Structure 1
Amino acid sequence: MKIIIAGGTGFLGENLEEYFTEKGDEVYILTRNPKRSNEMYWDAKTIGEWKSLLEETDVLINLTGKSVDCRYHDQNKKEIYTSRINSTKVLQEAIDLCAHKPKIWMNASSATIYVHSEKQLNTEENGIIGDDFSMNICKSWEKEFFKTENEEIRKVALRTSIVLGYNGGAFPKLRMITKLGLGGKQGRGNQKVSWIHIEDFCRAVEWMIQNENMKGAINITAPHPISNEEMMKKMRKQFNAPFGMNAPVWQLEIASLFLNTETELLLKSRNVYPEKLLKSGFQFLYTDFDKAVITLAKS
């Protein structure tokens, strides 16, 4: 296959590139800082030479967007919004000009689109979508993505949860704080963590490419969310940490100022279930958090 990954130099993009390249696929990366022969410059706002790459492409994956791991002041909020909307909009404009359009377009979204929920399991069909900054970003993102319908293009919005991999994402940070003795619960510890192993993430993307019935918004998360308290307990056990200091909300608020981030990333309960993936017949390699962590710890 010919695969284009826009914004593909981050953790997810790098792993997808490696996964598909090893299978013999041709992978091109759209990035602001091209350094390799398979990378092409784009500013995520305007049509450029990269448009020619889209012709006769099998798969387009857009992962572009400013990281939400920052303080939510006005400037960052604006950049989080515009980076997602503008990149989606310009890709649609370029696709409309193509004589031979991509067969499938997968656009990043987030499991954060659902409300804070400790008991309600949010599926694609019955998930409750609320109204705050993060949820509204996701809603606007998906609205822009699905606004234009092209009969020949299958569109999938990837409502991705926390992706665990040894070389990026949340896992290295969790491992570090656990080894430092800070691996206790954050806040009350009741908040649910929806997670997925990076290998299952890549396999799910491949599955959706191959399964022509998969379209619309799809939850990309393992089927068993875990509470924050239980997750940290399992991390301590895996890394032989004799204790883990709990972090009450007030401490997290102070720490988030110094770490230039927001407590929402730790305290929001993401209780999400991959109903569409499971109904389609996808089989996870890692449904159990213990197994995922053991594998990553050995990497």
Structure 2
Amino acid sequence: MSRVVIGGSTGFIGRHLQDAYRAEGREVVTISRSGADLTWDDQPGIDAAVDGAGLVIGLAGKSVSCRYTPANRAEIFRSRLETTAALGTAIARASAPPPLWVNSSTATIYRHAEDRPMTEDDGELGTGFSVEVAKAWERALYERDLPHTRRVALRTAIVLGDAGVLGPLRRLARVGLGGTQLDGWWPVSRARREAGTAHDPGARGGRQRFSWIHVDDVLGIIDFLEQQPQLDGPVNASSPAPVDNRAFMAAVRRALGVRFGPPTPRWMLEIGALGIRTETELILKSRWALPAKLSAAGYTFRHPDLDEALRASFSEG
């Protein structure tokens, strides 16, 4: 079976994909900073792996679950752009270029949306640091002339599974802190506003939308893309049944058998985010994306129901 090259293979999604492809009997070549077949500074090795591959997947990038300091912001950009460029260089040099390159993007590219969902055709792009990262990432994917390789920017929602975002949420819920996460006023410095990292108050009462997808469907979508040559450009990798934060946290509690979780106001979230070195934007921005392209093409989601997806995720952990 055709070779799969996975860049960014040691993360949550990368590990899941490589295990699944190897179980199918496909040859898998992994690229990461460490713990993989190749490292990102080995361009000749990347060139050789990509030449003749059937599928290239780009997932690399520093986690955005960090404080948006100048150093971290620079590394978030660099880790995405340089690794995407390395894959693009390898494809451009290949005598037998891969027919499909799927590269990570994010549903965060869309604006804070409380009024309507965002699709690939009518979604409005937002502003701020996270959005600029996503825009630059997609530009890096498309900047080269690669006439023999179809390219898809996978605008992925929050990914559920046996790792990732559900790890800390499980711990919070089990100690009674799994309630609705409430937005509200919080002082913002001029420096953060100029850097685009400020989060202004948005949805009230935990009504910020929560678009999600199970990691099994990330794999399923990539498999589907291999069989659907008409699909290219941005593709929303998100469940067709998004919820709001209040409903999502209630579903987390149900899946864990936790009966109650008091709401958490923004001031508590900000203090907690500072303590664990992350940003409240990750839970307070209203992300409302629908998979219009996938639905129109006939993709069948493996985990379309949130309660079932959470039960599957927690049973794997």
Using structure 1 for the length normalisation, give the TM-score.
0.95
**Which residues in structure 2 correspond to 1:1-299 (within 5 Å)?**
1-34=2-35, 39-43=37-41, 47-166=43-162, 168-187=163-182, 188-299=205-316
Q: Distance in 2 between matches of 1:86 and 1:41?
A: 12
Q: State the shift of 1:261 in Å.
A: 0.4
Q: Deviations over 1:17-74 (max 9, x none)?
A: 1111111111110122136xxx12223xx62322211110110101111110000111
Question: Which residue identity lines up with residue 199 of structure 1 in the other structure?
Answer: D
**How many residues of Structure 1 are paired with residues of Structure 2 in the alignment?**
293
Q: Distance in 2 between matches of 1:140 and 1:290?
A: 34
Q: Distance in 2 between matches of 1:236 and 1:52?
A: 48
Unaligned runs of 5+ in 1: none
Question: Which residue identity lines up with residue 56 of structure 2 in the other structure?
Answer: L
Q: State the shift of 1:152 in Å.
A: 0.7
Q: State the shift of 1:190 in Å.
A: 0.8
Q: State the shift of 1:118 in Å.
A: 1.8
Q: State the shift of 1:250 in Å.
A: 1.0
Q: Distance in 1 between matches of 2:280 and 2:313?
A: 25
Question: Which residue identity lines up with residue 205 of structure 1 in the other structure?
Answer: I
Identity %: 37
Question: Which residue identity lines up with residue 61 of structure 1 in the other structure?
Answer: I
Is contact 2:273–2:280 with CA below 8 Å preserved after alignment? yes
Is contact 1:42–1:48 with CA below 8 Å preserved after alignment? no
Question: Which residue identity lines up with residue 184 of structure 1 in the other structure?
Answer: G
Q: Distance in 2 between matches of 1:75 and 1:68?
A: 12
Unaligned runs of 5+ in 2: 183-204
